């Protein structure tokens, strides 16, 4: 290495993965610096609900909830099936409780066990999230911890490529400068904002509007390909089936889990909403420009505990109807069909008949008037494919070797949400791998640099 080493670990990307990795590395005794190409840190982590699954955490035990990593692995595999990162599923499940406890107890992040719902993919209540259900609150906590440690963070300073010497990564080109570092952590987002890559790898969602972070342009995948790194699960993505239009807010899936339904402009349901907010996205896309969520006052009252939902309501995103006919008139839906749809759904919720689409979970349904309606459209939020990493978050090659000095996590790494499509995503998968791999990378990088292995 000819240049002077500027830092032990250079973190590229200031989302949850990069921030957690920087904190873990600093606390393990090495120097760290973070660069972020956007003017604001956070990326997709800021846009999330901040939910992290932790199986067997001390907070579950205090709440009387029995859970184990093995149960979480079974839950995730039931949703995702087997894929290119099966080993990562097991690693993340086994470390999930200690991750949540590290964030809450060791770092003081404002997270708590959520017992009001389980959300998609989880058989028990194991999500830990900010009370606000805003990922920005978690990001703010991590940024505060980075600042407290005097870790340099350069915003609006993008990395343009990696510096390679003898097949090892020795630094990065940042802005117009060559920055030498002993280790690099790729903590960039995925490629969902790169339409060319989305069309190549995830064509079924290429026509959807993108609602994620603008920085998700796929540098990690492009750089990894040049290095001969392994890619995995490139066709998998996280969609969201219900973006309230024109407000642009996510309609919390609590409204559906607690008994709400989605209908098309013809007033009819079009599938089993149990598929979840990601898995149901292709179904909503097939409806044309818009679909419509319908639920009742009781469900609305539950959702009002979530800040983003309350703000969306204040912006006029919800319309009310005293009965199905008046509700249908709000958006020129087929009134007769909507009435029949609600009646048939309520009969299934009462157990009088089997739901025509196989829905098994009805929450607070049957629905009762007055009814709430939100006009929604589907969106793409995050790609789930990326660089294959080993159990130490090191970037792997097809022959099983690793790219020396290079770590990856978050959207840069292959996720655990299935091989292709939106159906494999379970709530919290993104933040679990972002924070989990970031922490693992920071600790491993420090151990390698200090010769502790």
For the stretch 142-170, pLDDT in tens is: 999 999 999 999 999 999 999 999 999 99
Residue 2's pLDDT is 59
Residue 453's pLDDT is 86
Here the tokens at position 85 are 């990162």
Here the tokens at position 76 are 């995730």
Highest-scoring range by mean pLDDT, 25-29, 174-178, 214-218:
25-29
Q: Which residues of 172-182 are buried (b: 16+ CB within 10 A; e: fewer)?
A: bebeeeebbbb
Per-residue pLDDT tens over the stretch 95-153: 999 999 999 999 999 999 999 888 889 999 999 999 998 999 999 999 999 999 999 99
Whole-number percent of the chain with pLDDT over 90: 93
Residue 409's pLDDT is 98
pLDDT over 60 (residue 214): yes
- Beta strands 402-408 and 177-186: pairing type? parallel
C-alpha pair distances (Å), 237 with each of 199, 203, 430: 12, 11, 10
Residue 3's pLDDT is 65
Confidence label for 5 from pLDDT (cuts 50, 70 and 90):
confident
Residue matched to tokens 């829905």: 359
Here the tokens at position 75 are 């839950």
Confidence label for 75 from pLDDT (cuts 50, 70 and 90):
very high
CB-based contacts of 293, cutoff 8 Å, min separation 6? 242, 251, 255, 256, 260, 261, 262, 372, 373, 374, 376
| CA gap 31, 25 in Å, rounded | 8
Among candidate residues 444, 438, 447, the one with its CA nearest the CA of residue 145: 438
Residue matched to tokens 């606000």: 132
Mean pLDDT score, 273-297 = 94
For residue 62, count other CB atoms closer than 10 A to its CB. 9
Mean pLDDT score, 293-321 = 96
Residue 290's pLDDT is 94
pLDDT over 80 (residue 94): yes
Residue 1's pLDDT is 47
Per-residue pLDDT tens over the stretch 327-349: 999 889 999 999 999 999 999 99
| CA gap 352, 440 in Å, rounded | 51
Task: Give the orientation angle of helix 429-449 with respect to helix 16-27, to 10 degrees.
Answer: 30
C-alpha pair distances (Å), 14 with each of 102, 152, 289, 405, 438: 19, 11, 34, 19, 11
Q: How many CA atoms lie within 13 A of 203 on its CB side?
A: 1
Residue 119's pLDDT is 81
Q: Give the mean pLDDT of the chain.
A: 96
Here the tokens at position 41 are 């840190």
* C-beta of residue 30 within 8 angstroms of C-beta of residue 446: yes
Per-residue pLDDT tens over the stretch 420-436: 999 999 999 999 999 99
């Amino acid at each position: 290495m000819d240049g002077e080493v500027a830092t032990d670990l250079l973190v590229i990307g200031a989302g949850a993965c990069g921030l957690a990795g920087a904190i873990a590395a600093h606390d393990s005794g090495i120097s760290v610096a973070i660069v972020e190409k956007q003017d604001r840190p956070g990326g997709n982590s800021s846009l999330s609900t901040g939910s992290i699954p932790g199986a067997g955490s001390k907070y579950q035990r205090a709440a009387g909830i029995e859970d184990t990593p093995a149960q979480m692995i079974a839950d995730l595999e039931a949703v995702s099936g087997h894929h290119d990162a099966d080993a990562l599923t097991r690693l993340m499940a086994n470390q999930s409780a200690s991750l949540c406890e590290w964030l809450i107890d060791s770092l003081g992040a404002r997270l708590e066990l959520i017992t009001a719902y389980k959300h998609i993919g989880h058989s028990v209540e194991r999500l830990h999230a900010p009370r606000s259900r805003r990922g920005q609150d978690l990001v703010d906590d991590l940024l505060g911890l980075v600042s407290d440690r005097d870790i340099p963070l350069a915003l609006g300073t993008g990395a343009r490529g990696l510096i390679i010497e003898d097949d090892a990564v020795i630094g990065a080109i940042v802005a117009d400068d060559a920055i030498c570092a002993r280790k690099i952590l790729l903590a960039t987002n995925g490629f969902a904002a790169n339409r060319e890559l989305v069309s190549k790898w995830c064509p079924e969602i290429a026509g959807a509007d993108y609602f994620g972070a603008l920085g998700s342009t796929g540098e990690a995948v492009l750089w990894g390909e040049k290095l001969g790194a392994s890619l995995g699960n490139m066709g998998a993505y996280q969609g969201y089936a219900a973006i309230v239009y024109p407000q642009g807010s996510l309609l919390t899936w609590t409204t559906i889990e607690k008994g709400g339904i989605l209908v098309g402009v013809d007033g009819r349901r079009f599938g089993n909403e149990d598929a979840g907010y990601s898995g149901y996205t292709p179904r909503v896309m097939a409806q044309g420009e818009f679909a419509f969520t319908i639920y009742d006052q009781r469900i609305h009252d539950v959702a009002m505990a979530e800040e983003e939902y309350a703000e969306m309501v204040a912006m006029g995103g919800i319309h009310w109807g005293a009965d199905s006919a008046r509700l249908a008139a709000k958006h020129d839906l087929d009134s007769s069909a909507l009435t029949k749809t609600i009646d048939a759904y309520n009969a299934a919720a009462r157990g009088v008949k089997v739901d025509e689409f196989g829905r098994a979970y009805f929450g607070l349904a049957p629905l009762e008037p007055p009814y709430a309606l939100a006009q929604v459209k589907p969106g793409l939020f995050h790609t789930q494919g990326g660089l294959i990493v080993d159990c130490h978050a090191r970037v792997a090659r097809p022959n099983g070797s690793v790219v020396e000095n290079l770590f990856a996590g978050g959207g840069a790494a292959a996720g655990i949400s299935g091989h292709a499509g939106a159906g494999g995503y379970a709530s919290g998968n993104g933040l679990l791998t972002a924070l989990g791999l970031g922490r693992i990378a920071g600790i491993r990088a420090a151990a390698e640099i200090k010769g502790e292995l």
